[in-house]
Amino acid sequence: MVKRKPKNHYGEGSIFYSNIKQKWMAQINVGKDENGKVIRKSVIADTQEEVKTKLDEFVWLL
């Protein structure tokens, strides 16, 4: 049986590899504006570990 990676909980953001930019990216939803549009913040780095640490630092600032 194949083991699945654990999902991130709400508010932890998502990490993925961008083929267009050839870099690892992370996005997190910060909230919504007055029109109801979702506000997202992005973090970009060369490795997945760097993105994870940058995302963790950003989450602590919220």
Listed residue (53, 43, 1, 2) closest to 23, CA to CA: 43
Q: Is 7 a domain residue?
A: no
Report if residue 56 sits inside a domain. yes
pLDDT score of 4: 77
**Does residue 29 lie within any of the structural domains?**
yes
- What is the predicted pLDDT for the residue at 61? 78
What pLDDT does 11 receive? 72
Q: Which residue has the higher pLDDT, 15 or 11?
A: 15
Query: Burial, 9: exposed, middle or buried (Cβ in 10 Å; 0-12, 13-18, 19+)?
Result: exposed
What mean pLDDT value characterizes the chain?
89
Is the pLDDT at 1 greater than 90? The verdict is: no
In a domain, 21, yes or no: yes
The rounded distance, in Å, linking the Cα atoms of 26 and 4 is: 20
> What is the domain extent for residue 48?
14-61
Structure-block tokens of residue 37: 């549009």
Say how many domains are in the chain.
1
